[in-house]
Amino acid sequence: MADTDATIANDAALAAASVQVERASANKELRPSIAGFFDEATYTVSYVVHDPATKEAAIIDSVLDYEAASGRTSNGSADRIIEYVKVNDLTVTWLIETHAHADHISAAPYLQEKLGGKLAIGKDIVRVQEVFGKLFNAGTDFERDGSQFDHLFTDGETFRIGTIEGIALHVPGHTPADMAFLIGDAAFVGDTIFMPDFGTARADFPGGDARQLFRSIRRLLSLPAATRLFLCHDYKAPGRDDYAWETTVGQQRNENVHVNDKITEDEFVEMRTSRDSTLAMPKLIMPSVQVNIRGGRLPEPEANGVSYIKIPVNAL
Ligand SMILES: [Fe+2]
């Protein structure tokens, strides 16, 4: 804990993020409008975040529907987002991925074709491309330099959605490249933390690290207590009947079953590691990772014009 606290005390990006939240909490015009779209097939929440003044918008963590048995993709989830964007007359400037997801395929290329916007992810995606490029024995034509994306965010980088301020925070642990995006007073935290009654994301994928995840979460929970947190997934929790995906820093610090203020780093690592060893791989990890490290594009078609998803046997 001492190390983490010392690091946070010298954290310029976090300090800037905290100031941003305070400004937005005090002034409604600096807060974005947010719509969440829940995909029950993969328990994923996608968001459209927009500036009411300029109607500029970002789409975060979209889902392409994928039927594993037939290998068929469809656009129902993405079309719901397109409908919302059109009805509200929004201009999409960003298509943001919090990380290379292992449980669903991104619809970002489809949305980009229909709506425009720059496709962005954290700059450490290159490390994820390296690890999974090897696992899937991707050829040299698979670039491991992040060039499939239009923009690679770095820790502390600022951006805007219309007049609303944003700042990107690197929060590795679930994967090396996870980012959280703070927009006004709302943080889109990807797969770091889940609802207080469910806990945290797993840290056992290739390149994941439970200790790093704890430090990333504590960093996020050093934002002001009123910071709104929007999660990438919800699985309900024992005793809860409805899906939920919005909470606050204050609520997480008091109530999160894995990382409230009373839990130490070592206790978390012990709990996370033993729990992860009991979890099966996500059903869609093979197609998801292969497509998402390519910016949501299918692998190059073979000579017959068909794209194939590979399954490495006995490798994961
Ligand atoms: Fe994930």
Q: What is the pLDDT of residues 212-259, one digit of tens each?
A: 999 999 999 999 999 999 999 999 999 999 999 999 999 999 999 999
Q: Would 141 be classed as within a structural domain? A: yes
pLDDT score of 260:
97
Q: Would 284 be classed as within a structural domain? A: yes
Average pLDDT over residues 109-136: 97
Number of domains composing the chain = 1
Q: Would 301 be classed as within a structural domain? A: no
CA distances from 202 to 102, 144, 255 (A): 11, 25, 19
CATH number at residue 164: 3.60.15.10
CA–centroid distance, 259 to ligand 1, in Å, is 18
pLDDT score of 141:
85
CA–centroid distance, 37 to ligand 1, in Å, is 17
Q: Would 226 be classed as within a structural domain? A: yes
Neighbouring-strand partners of residue 247: 229
Q: Would 302 be classed as within a structural domain? A: no
pLDDT score of 3:
59
CA–centroid distance, 98 to ligand 1, in Å, is 8
Length of the chain: 316
Asked if residues 104 and 44 have their Cβ atoms less than 8 Å apart, the reply is yes
pLDDT score of 124:
97
CA–centroid distance, 254 to ligand 1, in Å, is 24
Q: Would 299 be classed as within a structural domain? A: no
Q: Which domain holds residue 82?
A: 2-292
pLDDT score of 140:
84
Average pLDDT over residues 267-291: 96
Q: Would 308 be classed as within a structural domain? A: no
Q: Would 311 be classed as within a structural domain? A: no
